[in-house]
Amino acid sequence: MKDTIKVSIAGASGYSGVELLRILTRHRHATVEKLFANTSAGKRVGELYPWFAGRVDLVYEQYTAEAACSSDVVFIALPSGEAMNLVPGLLERGKKVIDLGGDFRLKNASLYEKFYKHEHTAKSTLAHAVFGLPEWNRSQIKSAMLVANPGCYPTSAIIPLAPVLKEGLIEKNGITISSLSGVSGAGRSASVDLSFAEVNESVKAYKVGVHQHTPEMRTVLEEIAGDQVSLTFVPHLLPLTRGIYTSIYAPLARSVTQGEVLSVFQKYYSGEPFVRFSENAIPEIKNVNYTNYIDIGFRMYPDNNQLILLSAIDNLIKGAAGQAVQNMNLMFGLDEREGLL
């Protein structure tokens, strides 16, 4: 373990990049050296985000691989399609990389191109990426050079579903996932559709049947279940700044009691530092926002032979920056809770 981990962030002026910086300023073993944000280059952090005034005396820079390579690890918090242009050069220089975008989450380049709607130009690098879900891939993350940080929606769905799928409590087909997200999940770029006047006092579904996180959920769950999994995923936009609330409707594979479901969650998650589950409490976004926790609740629906799973996360923390720092901690042999509590 290094005494001090030197960090660079590409895409440091966006919402996830800012959350990374916020977390890393309280991390005892990390020092942020470089902040790259091409559109904000030349501006001080405190100028763009006054919260950092007097705390962070850094200036946003134009990205170059040479500048980033003074660091031990580079976080990439850029829109999908951009990380693939940066990652190969960083890996060639022996740098550890954590990508918060979607470029390396899917091993199948054709599947990526179908759902993300552009060509993947770093196909040979896909095989080297480790999916950064600590609760299920901890050992692989520890030795990884490239971690593909999970999407926010997949984090909220995979963690509740994985134990009951693996233990055969639910069917592998007919799973329905309905998620509601705050508008920060779409990033910081200006958009009429995401303006206050458009989203306030309204809820709407979007990208129904074509959302890019659908194959991510399916492929990861298939690896865990050891078999094909079919699911329906429908995301919704909420008039909130942050937070994701996910409701999952899963057909039971056999007669199952509430106690059996609880025992399965205890088996897989009782030692997990950021998973909180309860057979009584119903998760709420307000209880997880600004934290790296996922809260999980569940109910039996015996009339329909269904298990209802409910989860809540902060999309910018457990769904992005917090989970990325958790992964960094594992990659450098640190307590994975460092900077996150």
For every residue of 85-114, which 3-state class applies, written as one string? Answer: HHHHHHHHCCCEEEECCCCCCCCCHHHHHH
Residue 190 near residue 212 (C-beta atoms within 8 A): no
CA–CA separation, 140 and 80 (whole Å): 23
User: With 0-12 CB in 10 A as exposed, 13-18 as middle and 19+ as buried, what is 190?
Assistant: exposed
From the candidates 77, 87, 146, 152, give the one annotated as an active-site residue. Answer: 152
CA torsion angle 106 110 112 118 (round to 10):
150
**Residue type, position 110, single letter:** S
Residue 142 near residue 306 (C-beta atoms within 8 A): no
The yes-or-no answer on residue 152 being catalytic is yes
Residue 5 near residue 73 (C-beta atoms within 8 A): yes
CA–CA separation, 161 and 311 (whole Å): 10
Q: Which residues are catalytic?
A: 152
